[in-house]
Amino acid sequence: MLTLNISEADIEHVKYERIQYPLARIRVRFDALYLTSQGYTRHQVSELTGLHRNTITKYIKTYNEGGLEQLKVLHWQGPKSCLSGHEQSLEDYFRAHPPHTVKQARAAIIQISGETLSVAEVRRFLHKLGMKPRKAGHIPAKADVDKQAVFVKEQLKPLLKKAKAKKCYVFFMDAAHFNLMPLVSMIWSFTRIFIKAAAGRNRINVLGAMDAVTLQVYALINTTYINAQSVTTVLEMLSQRCKKGRPIYVVLDNARYQHCDFVKACAKNLGITLVFLPPYSPNLNLIERLWKYIKKDILANRYFESADLFHEVVVDAIHLINHCPKTKAEIKSLITHNFQSFAQKLTQ
């Protein structure tokens, strides 16, 4: 007599997956297996599930021979695609020449394979290849990925390790310039939403230094401009508010007002070590992610009736980052110590 030899762990697994598994056909199999494990006869399971007794027997044999993974295998095959012999050549072509539209992809398929497909069929084929509509991005053309990798390995990672151990402070410094203009982004809506555009132009500047461990932000905010004097003001702020005796490192880019002798002399007098990023390396400056968060989550898709209101929102954003636990939790998931490499982008 055929017996179901199932472990307690697998019983708990099928109990969950008979409801949650994404494929309905597999859920039916798990349901039959679970009912059998609970002592129901094959006749009773057949009545409860609508399956034939021979099918239930087949599922039990499949599980006994190969376990749950074998039970997930679907042997049914649909009709063979007319493009089955051209998949590799089409994939190679689309990797080298990404199409702007499905219609453009359709024209390429006709030219390469000689097969004429509908737009819907082409869309399904592109999804099958693993393609989907993605917004193109851009990276600095002059970025040196090898120098970045060496910098992360030999300087950034050791400094961050020391900072986590409270042996030093590490701050990431950068300036952001927020303009009073519509920042639009993707949004779930029933119809397309239009954001009013404010008349005239207005800007508020934020020069910030963010603690790499606590994510505390020390900032100088103005509506004029950021210069070397602004940088030294923030450096003095860090020197005053950090515990004495613990070295301070500030990671920053190569903007002229940050790389000048005046700033370097001030940092030396304050006992602060400036760590300059390799050229064209915004991906290595953690505070850049903070500016992106403010633009996307706070300023995007909003209309400000006055410049004063706009300035107030930006100032409040910095305050919330420092004092609101909810906001701190949101940025904590964004500002990790994992650094994106442009080399990864170039190979994708």
Least confident window among 77-81, 214-218, 321-325:
77-81
For range 316-324, the mean pLDDT: 94
User: pLDDT tens-digit profile of 243-290?
Assistant: 888 999 999 999 999 999 999 999 999 999 999 999 999 999 999 999
On whether the 145-347 domain is CATH 3.30.420.10, my answer is yes
Residue 75 — pLDDT band, cuts 50, 70, 90? Answer: confident
More confident residue, 315 or 182: 315
Give the containing element (helix H, strand E) for 250.
strand 248-252
Residue ranges per structural domain of the chain: 8-71, 87-129, 145-347
Tokens encoding 45: 């399971």
Average pLDDT over residues 132-157: 87
Higher pLDDT: 268 or 141? It is: 268
Global pTM value: 0.67
| Predicted local confidence at residue 347, as pLDDT | 47
Q: Where are the alpha helices (DSSP H) in 171-250?
A: 228-241
Q: With contact defined as beta carbons under 8 Å apart, do 83 and 110 qualify?
A: no
Residue 273, phi then psi, degrees to nearest 5 = -95, 125
